[in-house]
Amino acid sequence: MPRAQGAAGPGGPRRTRPSRVWRRRPGRPAAKRNAARRLSAGQPTRAGGGAMRPCQTSRQTRQCGYGCSRLLAAAGQGSSMVRIGIIGIGFMGKTHWDAAQQVSGGEVTAVCTRSEKKLSGDWSDIQGNFGGPGGQVDLSDTRKYRAVDDILADPDIDLVDICLPTALHKEVTIAAFEAGKHVLLEKPIAVQLADADEMVAAANASGRKFFVGQVLRFFPEFDFIKRALDSGEYGALKGANFKRIISSPSWGENWFANLPQSGGPGIDLHIHDSDFIVYILGVPDSVYSSGILIEGEYAQYIATHYAYEELGVTLTAQSGAIAHGGRPFEHGFDVYFENATVQYNSSWGSPLCVVTPDGVEEPELSAEDGFVREIQYAVDTIANDTEPTLLSGQSARDSLALCWREVESARTGSVVRLK
């Protein structure tokens, strides 16, 4: 049966399937540029001692989509740890913290939040639409900051992982580049395109690496589709439908409900699938959307047809915060190839299935979490000094532009051409 590489979806690994910025000082000293330091040949070690934890089995090494096989292959050369500082400890900050504990070659050395309770290690109030509840976290070996300027001034941080509300992304991201840090930014890159353009320009001017967490590319079920399409294993792609539905979020101090700050579900939620479609097929020739618009500008629910004229495929995607409270988060797809149909739905509690004339298969997918793979990719890219092509700021900016064109189509009732 075919195998895929990548990472597990929301809720953790599965064995069988794939306001204001808080600031203290007006100035921010530029931190020293921290290049990856090479140790002498031998076993790679963590800063402060202790061996790095590679994958424990040969299967895990084979199935790692990013990092592990290359990391182990380079183990004879060795490398220093990439030191990570997380800014913002809410639902996504906790998600990134948990994922970073499983990364090889990187470690969280500092966190930044205004909450004294969270700085004490009490994260019990954190909740979200997937994953486990918050709890007690040991921060005894982690530097703790209350002000963004202070964590950015820390010379012992290489990568800042920004998990703040979207409205704060531009200011903190640009400040991080000015401080000489690499940046991993939770999606979406911004709400407005002009802000995204400024952020990409700041990254280019700084010479630092800019990653935007379009994490769907690392989920094993979605990675399976990408690999099947690239390999042609099931023949040409004929059509697909992607779906992503939640109830209105009740976490995150309700910032999501502030539509100018979050962009609403048509941006914050729908960008997952729009980005993935562009990732596998490129920018469509045109889009036609309908949906439920709030204030005539923000989509609570949106359904889009993506036209690829030369490819002759029919793709659709629907997303929204339209479900009633208590309904579980749902995402998935039906993808139709010439010789197979691939189905996945997170709410069914069943693995990805491949339906062919010979029957139904359940391919064995990587058991690694998508957020682990995302952070591992960032760490490896910094350590190896390569370009962050898979999670580039420009790619995230272009996906944001596509989402706004979809909203435009829903608002005007017209086909919007992109080429």
Mind listing the pLDDT tens digit for each residue in 331-362?
Answer: 999 999 999 999 999 987 789 999 999 999 99
Does 58-215+372-391 match 217-363+399-417 in CATH topology? Answer: no
DSSP assignment of 254-282: GGGG-HHHH--HHHHTTHHHHHHHHHHH-
The per-residue pLDDT for 202 is 99
Ranking 38-47, 147-156, 336-345 by mean pLDDT, the lowest is 38-47
Answer for the pair 70, 54: CB distance below 8 angstroms, yes or no.
no
Which pLDDT band, with edges at 50, 70 and 90, does 251 fall under? low
Ranking 102-111, 310-319, 340-349, 357-366 by mean pLDDT, the lowest is 340-349
Ranking 9-13, 222-226, 398-402 by mean pLDDT, the lowest is 9-13
Segment 308-323 shows an average pLDDT of 93
Segment 26-31 shows an average pLDDT of 36
Answer for the pair 195, 169: CB distance below 8 angstroms, yes or no.
yes
The per-residue pLDDT for 246 is 84
Which pLDDT band, with edges at 50, 70 and 90, does 252 fall under? low
pLDDT at 401 over 90: yes
Ranking 39-48, 154-163, 377-386 by mean pLDDT, the lowest is 39-48
CA atoms within 13 A on the CB side of 391: 31
Q: Can you tell me the distance from the alpha carbon of 322 to that of 294, in angstroms, rounded to the nearest whole number?
A: 12
Answer for the pair 374, 7: CB distance below 8 angstroms, yes or no.
yes
- Percent share of the chain, pLDDT over 70: 78
Segment 180-195 shows an average pLDDT of 98
The residue to which tokens 């031998």 are assigned: 42
The per-residue pLDDT for 254 is 65
Answer for the pair 225, 333: CB distance below 8 angstroms, yes or no.
yes
CA distances from 77 to 71, 74, 132, 153, 352 (A): 10, 6, 38, 30, 38
Answer for the pair 65, 5: CB distance below 8 angstroms, yes or no.
yes
CATH class of 217-363+399-417: alpha beta
Q: Can you tell me the distance from the alpha carbon of 157 to that of 403, in angstroms, rounded to the nearest whole number?
A: 33
Give pTM, 2 decimals: 0.80
Which pLDDT band, with edges at 50, 70 and 90, does 396 fall under? very high
> Can you say how many angstroms the Cα of residue 180 is from the centroid of all Cα atoms in its chain?
22
pLDDT at 27 over 50: no
The per-residue pLDDT for 321 is 87
Please say whether the dihedral angle defined by the alpha carbons of residues 368, 129, 191 and 409, taken in this order, is positive or negative.
positive
Which pLDDT band, with edges at 50, 70 and 90, does 250 fall under? low
H-run or E-run covering 356: strand 353-356
The per-residue pLDDT for 3 is 34
**Two tokens, residue 347:** 């709410």
- Percent share of the chain, pLDDT over 90: 70
pLDDT at 5 over 50: no
Domain extents for the chain?
A: 58-215+372-391, 217-363+399-417
282: burial class by Cβ within 10 Å (0-12, 13-18, 19+)? exposed
Which has more pLDDT, 252 or 157? 157
Which has more pLDDT, 74 or 132? 132
Q: Is 166 helix (H, G, I), strand (E, B) or coil?
A: helix
91: burial class by Cβ within 10 Å (0-12, 13-18, 19+)? buried
The per-residue pLDDT for 361 is 96
Ranking 115-129, 155-169, 252-266, 386-400 by mean pLDDT, the lowest is 252-266
Mind listing the pLDDT tens digit for each residue in 288-301?
Answer: 999 999 988 899 99
Mind listing the pLDDT tens digit for each residue in 77-94?
Answer: 344 899 999 999 999 999
Share the mean pLDDT of the chain. 83
pLDDT at 129 over 80: no
CATH class of 58-215+372-391: alpha beta
12: region left, alpha or beta (phi > 0 left; psi from -120 to 50 alpha): left
Of 265, 242, 266, 245, nearest to 314 by C-alpha is 242
Segment 326-333 shows an average pLDDT of 84
Segment 312-316 shows an average pLDDT of 95
pLDDT at 96 over 90: yes
pLDDT at 215 over 70: yes
136: burial class by Cβ within 10 Å (0-12, 13-18, 19+)? exposed
Segment 202-223 shows an average pLDDT of 98
